Structure 1
Amino acid sequence: MKVFLKLIWFFKLRKKEYLIGLSMLGLVAILNLIPPKVIGYVIDEIGNGELTTQSLAKWVGIIIVVAILIYIMRYYWRRMIFGSSTYLAKLLREKLFHHFTKMSPSFYQQRRVGDLMAHATNDISAVQQTAGGGVLTLFDSVTTGGFVILAMAITIDWRLTLIALIPMPLMAISTSYYGKLLHSRFREAQAAFSDLNDKTQESISGIKVIKTFGQQDEDTADFTRLSNDVVDKNMKVAKIDSLFDPTISLVIGFSFMLSLGFGAKFIYEGSMSIGDLVAFNTYLGLLVWPMLAFGMLFNIMERGSASYDRIEQLLEVPVEIDDKENALDSKPNGDIGFKIDDFKFPGDQASALHSVHFTLKRGETLGIVGKTGSGKTTILKLLLREFEGYNGEIRFGNHTIDDYKKQRLREAIGYVPQDHFLFSTTVFENIAFNNPQENREEVEQIAKIAHIHDDILRFTNGYETIVGERGVSLSGGQKQRISIARALMMKPELLILDDSLSAVDAKTEEAILKSLKEAREDSTTIITSHRLSAIEHAHLIIVMDDGTIVEQGTHEELMALQGKYFEMYQLQQLERLVEKGGEEIE
């Protein structure tokens, strides 16, 4: 019953619907008592030779009225109870999704997408079944069973009722034992399904890589292994589940045997009529459903309890980065002051950044260069407040970035990451993602700044072309430029391009940078790049190595130092010279 206690908040929320539904269900249980009694009266009238056409019509009429009332009430209790359980699924799904949107990147580093999807689908379905079918079986088994037993004891014979109930404790003990086994096994089955779900999602997303490396057979074998594990775990659940009905049927069979044996004895003694015994056994037949429902209840409760525990565990994961009390509800603007003495990623012993200090005036461009793993993207993640826990401070305007609400901070920043993600919708909707109501002219103007407009016009349906999942139908350069256009649509105070021009040629890169400089004359821009041509024009360039700044200045100042930046520049010039076949680079 623990799962019902955990869901008490929801039952209070929908108490009106549940009260109406359960009241209707109780009335149906009472009305179901009438037909067996009517049958007993008819049999006694037949036995006594008292049945007439008029009395038969009366009894038939009563049964028809009862059937109509039961039909109407069953319709309404189903709407109230099952409708409420659907609403619970909606609430939990929205609660989970909202929780996911607030979590930091470290949360997703520790959990797989397939597992999170399993929580939002299979687990929620199991909890929904608890609030619907579980409530139904609990109330129905108690009320119907209770009313039937009372009718048997009061209107027929209390002695025979007690005798028929003798096997019932055996059922209670057995189903309780089965329920404990079911809880642990269903939890294991849900975990196995999460693994399979994650494998499916990962394989479909990486199908190109799998095919490129010719790993289809190996990947299929891995999928089959996980699929078999799901089957094995669910078969263990089914083996326990399959014990409920036979156990209950066996108990009911004993009850029938006892009632027929002792009932015959009471008839012989003259303390019971044949009609009473027929009515008693009809009532006993009505007990079959409550007993089966009782077994189903254990099944539903244990499944729901295991799933709700899994959902609660996710919801209890604290939000690592949240707004402080009285956070500023305004978009930041102004100079950026970055002063980080030391920062380690959660769980890491080594510093990801140390002694990284620089100031970027509003309207200036910062270029960040360095080899892979030198800390370029880490600087950007801290600016976006994806991570905290550093020694130092980051200021945006007159306040530190944690003084602002996260939503307002991120509204001021247009971020184009290395891993470009496009939604499986139209080109127009991808660019206008931040403002779906934006007019076509504005979107086209932004696309021209990102130098993707001409490419879009060559697509089959222009701006209405569906790009496919994650932009699968586009080239790397096209995805990068659409991502840049999407960021520009925000009209951000700070634009961050994290190696976002790597897939375009040098000529297109130069054209994009020129357009950005003209369009964002009074706004701040940060560019990280391996290609130095992308940041030559920057007002400030910092060279990162092993998590710290080893050089900083303008392009001319860094060239004059003849240090790391100079070496990188000379090497890239040599590479360009080789690409041009030894011709002199202008």
Structure 2
Amino acid sequence: MRLFAQLSWYFGREWRRYLGAVALLIIIAVLQLVPPKLVGVIVDGVTQRHYTAGQILLWIGVMVAIAIVVYLLRYVWRVLLFGASYQLAVELRRDFYRQLSRQHPEFYLRHRTGDLMARATNDVDRVVFAAGEGVLTLVDSLVMGCAVLIVMSTQISWQLTLLALLPMPVMAIVIKRYGDQLHHRFKAAQAAFSTLNDRTQESMTSIRMIKAFGLEDRQSALFAEDARETGQKNLRVARVDARFDPTIYIAIGMANLLAIGGGSWMVMNGTLTLGQLTSFTMYLGLMIWPMLALAWMFNIVERGSAAYSRIRAMLAEAPVVHDGDESAPPGRGELRVAIRAFRYPGANQPTLQNLNVTLKPGQMLGLCGPTGAGKSTVLTLIQRHFDVDEGEIRFHDIPLPRLKLDDWRARLAVVNQTPFLFSDTVANNIALGKPEATQQEIEHVAKLACVHEDILRLPQGYDTEVGERGVMLSGGQKQRISIARALLLNAEMLILDDALSAVDGRTEHQILHNLRQWGEDRTVIISAHRLSALTEASEILVLQHGHVAQRGQHDQLASQPGWYRDMYRYQQLEAALDDAPEENQQEAINA
């Protein structure tokens, strides 16, 4: 029952709908009390032979009219009640999605995609079902049950009513115990479903890799194990669920036995008529639904409570990166990075140390170094996915934590190492950040990214559906479409995180040439393994083990002993070998 207290904020806001539905339920309950009374009257009238056929037909017509009215009222209250509960689903999912969009990478280190999807779908459905069917069954069972008890006690016999209700307290205690067990078991079953959902999501998104490595049988076995565990936990829920109805039927059977036995004795002693006993038996039959509804209500409310606790736990998580309250000043500004130390959550050793750089509008910063040196971490901190442990990053001489996140990120256009394309057309993927962009604008940035000709060769050109995650495109095409998407934003800063790794050297050279023209007064930050992408940078930082090992411009670094010169010469030799005829390649290798 704690779920109703937890959702009191929503019930209070939608009180008109719920009050209207409850009022109609009360009217329906009162109307349903009339037919058993009329049946008793008809039985006594027939046995005592003082009713004519016309009078009997009149009473039957009244019962038919009541049935029609009840049908119409049930339709109206369902629209009111379930319309309100479905609106709750919309709000919960909207809040859940907003919460996910506010979170940062640290949050996704702790939560898996399948679990988040299960909470947004299955758990929300359980809460909504409880807010609809749960409220219905609670009100319906209480109103109908109380009304029937009042009529049985006042209109027929309170002694017989008390006798028939003797099994009910025992039933209530047992059902409460079942409800507590159901809450804990259903919570465990939902967690198992989340694991199964995550396994499904991972298998579907990595199906190419699974097939390439021949891991179909292994993945099938892992999925089968998760499915078996989920089935076992749901079976434990079903075992508790299966106890509700038999318990109620036993209680109602005992109540009927006591009512028939006691009522027969009262009829024989003349304290009760046969018609009254018939009405009492029918009223007791009406008690079956309230009892079943009460058990069903406990069932769905405990399921909803377990699901809502999982949703609330997720909604209660505050972002580790807090939003600022200042807007960034207008105009292009200077970016100053001064990082003394930064550690990822849970890490003992710092990922970055003693990194200082200042970027003025129109300058290009290059980042390079061995794998794992900290290049992507620098870009992550500039985007403020994490906050710096020691040190600060300033824009317009304002620390980033003081700026509004949306306002700061609106100044950035980012192309990540692994481009992500939606299952949509090429044009819509490019226009993701600017949906109102014209076809001419889309084609212009596609030309800057050297992907326009490739798009025209697709079956429907810019209207071609790229499939899930851009499955029908090559890695280089995905990267160039992502670059075009970033350029369309016309942002103040462009961040390329190894975004040219899948294109050939000639295309890379053309893209960089286009970027220099596009970004004359914009700040560009490029992280790259291929050093030819950094030749035009205003300053290059060579990172090793999280600190700056070398810094300077390309010509300066290429002439100094160190990692940059060695890697640049190696890449030049590699490019020369790729361009040379096969016999010259062999001579170079032998030399």
Equivalent in the alignment of 1:508: 507
| Mapped pair 1:98 → 2:86 | no
SS of 1:500 mapped into structure 2:
coil
SS of 1:32 mapped into structure 2:
helix
Equivalent in the alignment of 2:198: 198
Equivalent in the alignment of 1:571: 570
Matching residue's letter, 2:15:
K
Equivalent in the alignment of 2:237: 237
Q: CA shift at 1:260, angstroms?
A: 0.5
| Mapped pair 1:411 → 2:410 | yes
Equivalent in the alignment of 1:82: 82
Q: CA shift at 1:81, angstroms?
A: 1.0
Report the Cα distance in structure 1 between the residues aligned to 2:397 and 2:247, rounded to whole angstroms.
73
Could you list the per-position Cα deviations for residues 92-112 of structure 1 after superposition, in whole angstroms to 9, with x for gaps in the alignment?
A: 110100000000111011110
Answer whether contact 1:182 1:240 (CA < 8 A) is retained: yes
Answer whether contact 2:323 2:403 (CA < 8 A) is retained: yes
Q: CA shift at 1:313, angstroms?
A: 0.6
Report the Cα distance in structure 2 between the residues aligned to 1:507 and 1:577, rounded to whole angstroms.
13
Equivalent in the alignment of 1:535: 534
Equivalent in the alignment of 2:35: 35
SS of 2:559 mapped into structure 1:
helix
Report the Cα distance in structure 2 between the residues aligned to 1:116 and 1:283, rounded to whole angstroms.
48
Equivalent in the alignment of 2:358: 359
Q: CA shift at 1:53, angstroms?
A: 2.4
Q: CA shift at 1:329, angstroms?
A: 5.5
Could you list the per-position Cα deviations for residues 532-563 of structure 1 after superposition, in whole angstroms to 9, with x for gaps in the alignment?
A: 00111111111000001111111111123222
Unaligned ranges ≥5, structure 2: none
Q: CA shift at 1:520, angstroms?
A: 1.4
Q: CA shift at 1:17, angstroms?
A: 0.2
Equivalent in the alignment of 1:158: 158
Equivalent in the alignment of 1:281: 281
| Mapped pair 1:9 → 2:2 | no
Q: CA shift at 1:332, angstroms?
A: 6.5
Could you list the per-position Cα deviations for residues 215-237 of structure 1 after superposition, in whole angstroms to 9, with x for gaps in the alignment?
A: 00010111111111111111111
Equivalent in the alignment of 2:446: 447
| Mapped pair 1:26 → 2:29 | no
Report the Cα distance in structure 2 between the residues aligned to 1:17 and 1:310, rounded to whole angstroms.
27
Could you list the per-position Cα deviations for residues 291-328 of structure 1 after superposition, in whole angstroms to 9, with x for gaps in the alignment?
A: 0011101101110110011011101111111222x321
Q: CA shift at 1:330, angstroms?
A: 5.2
SS of 2:231 mapped into structure 1:
helix
Report the Cα distance in structure 1 between the residues aligned to 2:524 and 2:313, rounded to whole angstroms.
40
SS of 1:515 mapped into structure 2:
helix
Report the Cα distance in structure 2 between the residues aligned to 1:477 and 1:331, rounded to whole angstroms.
35
Report the Cα distance in structure 1 between the residues aligned to 2:331 and 2:141, rounded to whole angstroms.
61
Answer whether contact 1:137 1:296 (CA < 8 A) is retained: yes
Equivalent in the alignment of 1:421: 420
Report the Cα distance in structure 2 between the residues aligned to 1:575 and 1:448, rounded to whole angstroms.
29
More displaced 10-residue stretch of structure 1: 32-41 or 63-72: 63-72
SS of 1:33 mapped into structure 2:
helix
Change in Cα spacing, 1:454 to 1:161, as seen in structure 2 (3 Å) is: same
SS of 2:365 mapped into structure 1:
strand
Q: CA shift at 1:356, angstroms?
A: 0.3
More displaced 10-residue stretch of structure 1: 75-84 or 469-478: 75-84
Report the Cα distance in structure 2 between the residues aligned to 1:461 and 1:390, rounded to whole angstroms.
49
Residue pairs, 1:450-461, within 5 angstroms:
450-461=449-460
Change in Cα spacing, 1:552 to 1:224, as seen in structure 2 (3 Å) is: same
Answer whether contact 1:332 1:404 (CA < 8 A) is retained: no
Change in Cα spacing, 1:235 to 1:281, as seen in structure 2 (3 Å) is: same
Report the Cα distance in structure 2 between the residues aligned to 1:209 and 1:116, rounded to whole angstroms.
24
Equivalent in the alignment of 2:265: 265
Equivalent in the alignment of 2:120: 120
Query: How many percent of aligned residue pairs carry the same amino acid?
Result: 44
Equivalent in the alignment of 2:386: 387
SS of 2:341 mapped into structure 1:
strand
Answer whether contact 1:367 1:535 (CA < 8 A) is retained: yes
Residue pairs, 1:289-438, within 5 angstroms:
289-324=289-324, 326-328=325-327, 333-438=332-437
Report the Cα distance in structure 1 between the residues aligned to 2:30 and 2:92, rounded to whole angstroms.
35
More displaced 10-residue stretch of structure 1: 562-571 or 513-522: 562-571
Answer whether contact 1:363 1:522 (CA < 8 A) is retained: yes
Equivalent in the alignment of 1:220: 220
Matching residue's letter, 2:567:
M
Q: CA shift at 1:453, angstroms?
A: 0.4
Across the aligned residues of Structure 1 and Structure 2, the Cα RMSD in angstroms comes to: 1.3
Change in Cα spacing, 1:331 to 1:302, as seen in structure 2 (3 Å) is: farther
Could you list the per-position Cα deviations for residues 338-396 of structure 1 after superposition, in whole angstroms to 9, with x for gaps in the alignment?
A: 11111111111100110001112210111111011101000000000000142111122
Matching residue's letter, 2:350:
S
Answer whether contact 1:332 1:412 (CA < 8 A) is retained: no
Report the Cα distance in structure 1 between the residues aligned to 2:305 and 2:332, rounded to whole angstroms.
49
Report the Cα distance in structure 2 between the residues aligned to 1:66 and 1:167, rounded to whole angstroms.
32
TM-score (norm: length of structure 1): 0.98
SS of 1:561 mapped into structure 2:
coil
Residue pairs, 1:41-80, within 5 angstroms:
41-80=41-80
Report the Cα distance in structure 1 between the residues aligned to 2:410 and 2:258, rounded to whole angstroms.
76
Q: CA shift at 1:492, angstroms?
A: 1.1
| Mapped pair 1:149 → 2:146 | no
SS of 1:495 mapped into structure 2:
strand
Change in Cα spacing, 1:331 to 1:234, as seen in structure 2 (3 Å) is: farther
Answer whether contact 2:329 2:396 (CA < 8 A) is retained: no
Report the Cα distance in structure 2 between the residues aligned to 1:331 and 1:234, rounded to whole angstroms.
57
Report the Cα distance in structure 2 between the residues aligned to 1:407 and 1:363, rounded to whole angstroms.
23
Answer whether contact 2:44 2:274 (CA < 8 A) is retained: yes
Could you list the per-position Cα deviations for residues 502-544 of structure 1 after superposition, in whole angstroms to 9, with x for gaps in the alignment?
A: 0000000000000111111111111111000011111111100
Q: CA shift at 1:401, angstroms?
A: 2.1
Report the Cα distance in structure 2 between the residues aligned to 1:352 and 1:386, rounded to whole angstroms.
15
Matching residue's letter, 2:433:
N
Q: CA shift at 1:39, angstroms?
A: 0.3
Equivalent in the alignment of 1:550: 549
Change in Cα spacing, 1:331 to 1:6, as seen in structure 2 (3 Å) is: farther
Answer whether contact 1:329 1:404 (CA < 8 A) is retained: yes
Q: CA shift at 1:57, angstroms?
A: 2.6
Q: CA shift at 1:408, angstroms?
A: 1.2
Report the Cα distance in structure 2 between the residues aligned to 1:448 and 1:90, rounded to whole angstroms.
41
Unaligned ranges ≥5, structure 1: none
TM-score (norm: length of structure 2): 0.97
Report the Cα distance in structure 2 between the residues aligned to 1:423 and 1:506, rounded to whole angstroms.
27
Matching residue's letter, 1:569:
Y
Answer whether contact 1:164 1:255 (CA < 8 A) is retained: yes
Report the Cα distance in structure 1 between the residues aligned to 2:395 and 2:421, rounded to whole angstroms.
29
Answer whether contact 1:333 1:396 (CA < 8 A) is retained: no
Matching residue's letter, 2:542:
V
Report the Cα distance in structure 2 between the residues aligned to 1:333 and 1:116, rounded to whole angstroms.
39
Residue pairs, 1:457-536, within 5 angstroms:
457-536=456-535
SS of 2:221 mapped into structure 1:
helix
Q: CA shift at 1:54, angstroms?
A: 2.5
Matching residue's letter, 1:317:
E
Report the Cα distance in structure 2 between the residues aligned to 1:497 and 1:4, rounded to whole angstroms.
50
Q: CA shift at 1:578, angstroms?
A: 2.8
Could you list the per-position Cα deviations for residues 263-317 of structure 1 after superposition, in whole angstroms to 9, with x for gaps in the alignment?
A: 1100000111100000000000000000001110110111011001101110111
Matching residue's letter, 2:349:
A
Matching residue's letter, 2:493:
L
Answer whether contact 1:450 1:481 (CA < 8 A) is retained: yes
